Structure 1
């Protein structure tokens, strides 16, 4: 009797297991006519196009947008390896935008310049929070009345310590707060003494304003970067707690207009690489504004005809930036984008492209335009780079 009960129990268990298996929804893998989850999508093009193999930039280049403190964490071994990458890819000089202020500049300079004095330069950064508590903006340094004056003094010190300019991170406008908890506005006139000091110091200001437009739109079926924002929801700035994309850009451009003697870089193609006519309009209006390419060849490369015309027309106002240090394969894609007429190739080495499910096309820019984007514009705007560049470039002929 006991054996029969055990056998019946086993039979019931097997039956229930079988029912559970058959009751399961089919896998959403897209196979055999099944639905497909976007996270399982791995498109492989059947387009057959001839790639151009490049072994480095056509001319020794200056990368004006890199992050050696943030990305390499002051690892000597990683720095040594990346300098080898710079040699192979013909990057003469990288500008690290992570200098910070005071003794932190000295620390960063020691890391970058002890072994490689001709290969790196630095921009300073403002410390908006200071010793204040993260959740208490009333305690933050930027809300003290003397903050602009002290920052102006600190920037003069930063120049004496070797910095060539000022980098402002996107937290200005999207994160840093007033005493009442509202976000600081980019065009807040309290901070005008800082931009004025940069003019007097001949300290260009490279400022990251906003992010791609899709990051300010609802994460829904109409958002062309839904997959990316689904994986990284913290990148979304949609909602009443954030200013709109166009409001951030308008505020920045008002600062550029108020300070015509200060040179500005609109980082990441002025924060609006999807809208080249809008960038053209502000470049026409503000001769003290320039743009750089960091992390935006994805946007430019999917509009090849418009982007090529733009880069040629505004060849004196565009600089090379990569947002690196990156793996060597990604750097090669910058040269391929700028130099070749290749069609439909990736803009990133990652399995999931970080900026949308699309491919890009090469610009095939003339040599005179490449020279300006790769190094001539940087040397004109940042003359402190010239000695470093000439020394490094001599080894790359």
Structure 2
């Protein structure tokens, strides 16, 4: 009996070993573990594609930055504009003072009617770099001096005022404290813009995710890993909503001044909240520059928003877009294409997702492409039938 039990144990052990060996031999080898920046999935989805290279109507791009382009690069920019049906590009790179003339002349000398120029706020003036106590913005009377600079720029041909997120995120007083966007020292500037009839185009914040901890839960982790300087989390940075609220208080205080809030008012992640702002302040408008990625991932909500607020939305791209960057804009606005990349880039700059078109009707496209710009920006004139162009206005 004992010999039988030992024999059975040997058989069972041998069998289990054979089974384990068989399992190991049949087990497929796992692919190697990869890093996030190596993950570049190619969709197998097959759906209709409309690779539009031209806007359906003449278009005004209210957000471009051609300030550092050579004459040859400006020529190329205009060539792309012609091909894409962009009638006018608005440069947001005008500098206060004599340099404004140089920029305007460089853009319009060979290409009259194709460019309008906004002037930027001048905080430093003759102050020393790295010494904020010497900057004009920190000296008594800055608001009126800057308002006069705006008046001078408009007389030179400027057709609006541009603000960067410098105000609120970088600009500091002599004690090192960040200046708030609703600081009363700037009130004379907003008031003067209203008196001159020129809009203020304001970029006041960045995506909400940039104000969150760069943790595994952050939806823009990969982007912030590549650009840690884009993070506004911690330190003494204000919360995202603090910046939005401060800007909104300025808009509320100056109902006679037109504000065009850049990048979908810096809150495209919450269109319901943005809609409540537009309902409250009729002098507030938005433009879509560099936010097609955000809008296109919520196509149902975005389409309802754009239909409801068609009179308040302007077209913009940011930068100086090549045709490869314009095609997704036309697809987003004019088609119902699905699951397509918002930029021709293996590392899409604003989120690891694809977008969907909202297929806007023609009457809304007209408003977004040019009618709202013609209504809000003094230098933009015309219509689709007779042509849209920019004129240089120099009031006395």
Selected match of 1:179 from 157, 174, 179:
174
In 2: Cα distance, 1:390 partner to 1:209 partner: 36
Give the secondary structure class of the aligned counterpart of 2:354: coil
**Alignment check: 8 A CA contact 1:86 1:92 kept:** yes
In 1: Cα distance, 2:98 partner to 2:124 partner: 17
In 2: Cα distance, 1:302 partner to 1:163 partner: 36
Give the secondary structure class of the aligned counterpart of 1:167: strand
**Alignment check: 8 A CA contact 1:204 1:264 kept:** yes
Partner of 2:89: 94
Q: Which residues in structure 2 correspond to 1:261-280 (within 5 Å)?
A: 261-280=256-275
The Cα of 1:370 is off from its aligned counterpart by 0.3
Give the secondary structure class of the aligned counterpart of 1:368: helix
Selected match of 1:162 from 146, 157, 163:
157
Partner of 2:185: 190
Does 1:295 find its partner at 2:293? no
Does 1:63 find its partner at 2:61? yes
Gaps spanning 5+ residues in structure 2: where? 1-28, 390-396
The Cα of 1:32 is off from its aligned counterpart by 3.8
Partner of 1:42: 40
Between 274-283 and 45-54, report the one with greater CA deviation: 45-54
Partner of 1:213: 208
**Alignment check: 8 A CA contact 2:380 2:388 kept:** no
Q: Which residues in structure 2 correspond to 1:1-397 (within 5 Å)?
A: 32-69=30-67, 73-386=68-381, 393=388
Between 44-53 and 350-359, report the one with greater CA deviation: 44-53
In 2: Cα distance, 1:347 partner to 1:288 partner: 30
The Cα of 1:161 is off from its aligned counterpart by 0.6
The Cα of 1:315 is off from its aligned counterpart by 0.2
The Cα of 1:145 is off from its aligned counterpart by 0.7
Question: Could you say what the CA RMSD is over the residues aligned between the two structures, in angstroms?
Answer: 1.5
**Alignment check: 8 A CA contact 1:123 1:166 kept:** yes
**Alignment check: 8 A CA contact 2:53 2:330 kept:** no
In 2: Cα distance, 1:181 partner to 1:392 partner: 50
In 2: Cα distance, 1:300 partner to 1:384 partner: 29
**Alignment check: 8 A CA contact 1:128 1:142 kept:** yes
In 2: Cα distance, 1:327 partner to 1:142 partner: 37
In 1: Cα distance, 2:313 partner to 2:257 partner: 17
**Alignment check: 8 A CA contact 2:58 2:85 kept:** yes
In 1: Cα distance, 2:69 partner to 2:105 partner: 10
The Cα of 1:110 is off from its aligned counterpart by 1.3
Count of paired positions = 361
**Structure with greater Cα Rg:** 2
The Cα of 1:91 is off from its aligned counterpart by 0.1
**Alignment check: 8 A CA contact 2:382 2:388 kept:** no
The Cα of 1:49 is off from its aligned counterpart by 1.3
Residues 112-161 of structure 1: CA distance to partner in whole angstroms, max 9, x if unpaired? 00011110000011111223233221111100112111111111111111
In 2: Cα distance, 1:209 partner to 1:308 partner: 24
Q: TM-score, normalised by structure 2?
A: 0.89
Residues 71-124 of structure 1: CA distance to partner in whole angstroms, max 9, x if unpaired? xx1301111111110000000000001111111110101110001111000001
**Alignment check: 8 A CA contact 1:101 1:125 kept:** yes
Gaps spanning 5+ residues in structure 1: where? 1-30
**Alignment check: 8 A CA contact 2:108 2:115 kept:** yes
In 1: Cα distance, 2:259 partner to 2:35 partner: 43
**Alignment check: 8 A CA contact 2:371 2:383 kept:** no
